[in-house]
Amino acid sequence: MKITDDIHYIGVNDHEIDLFEGQYVVENGMAYNSYVITDNRTAVMDTVDARFREEWLQNLKQALGDRTPDYLIVQHMEPDHSANIDAFAKTYPDAVIVASAAAFTMMKQFFGTDYADRRMIVKEGDTLSLGTHTLQFVGAPMVHWPEVIVTYDSHDKVLFSADGFGKFGALDADEDWACEARRYYFGIVGKYGMQVQNLLKKAAALDIKMICPLHGPILQENLEYYVNLYQTWSSYGVESEGIMIAYTSVYGHTKAAVELLAEKLTAKGCPKVVVADLAREDMAECVEDAFRYGRLVLATTTYNTDIFPFMREFISELTERGYQNRTIALIENGSWAPTAAKVMRARLESCKNITFAEPVVQIRSALNDESRAQLEALADELLR
The gap from C-alpha 109 to its chain's centroid, in whole angstroms, comes to 25
Per-chain mean pLDDT for the chain: 97
With contact defined as beta carbons under 8 Å apart, do 223 and 211 qualify? yes
Q: Using alpha carbons only, what angle is made at residue 259 by residues 375 and 338, rounded to the nearest 5 degrees?
A: 55
User: pTM (2 decimals)?
Assistant: 0.94
Reported confidence tier of residue 308, pLDDT bands at 50, 70, 90: very high
Interval 355-374 mean pLDDT: 97
Does the pLDDT value for residue 68 go beyond 90? yes
pLDDT at res. 150: 98
DSSP state of 186: I
Long-range contacts (CB closer than 8 Å, 24 or more residues apart) made by 262-266? 264/375, 264/376, 264/379, 265/379, 265/382, 265/383
Choose the weakest-confidence range: 171-175, 270-274, 342-346: 171-175
Burial 112-128 (b: 16+ CB within 10 A, else e): eebbeeebeebeeebeb
Alpha carbon distance 75, 159 (integer Å): 12
| Full set of structural domains in the chain with CATH | 7-234 (3.60.15.10), 243-382 (3.40.50.360)
Alpha carbon distance 4, 8 (integer Å): 7
- pLDDT tens, 156-169? 999 999 999 999 99
DSSP state of 197: H
With contact defined as beta carbons under 8 Å apart, do 273 and 245 qualify? yes
Interval 67-74 mean pLDDT: 98
Reported confidence tier of residue 296, pLDDT bands at 50, 70, 90: very high
Interval 268-295 mean pLDDT: 97
Q: Which amino acid is at 299?
A: A
pLDDT at res. 34: 98
Query: Residue 357's closest CA among 203, 277, 248, 245?
Result: 245
pLDDT at res. 1: 86
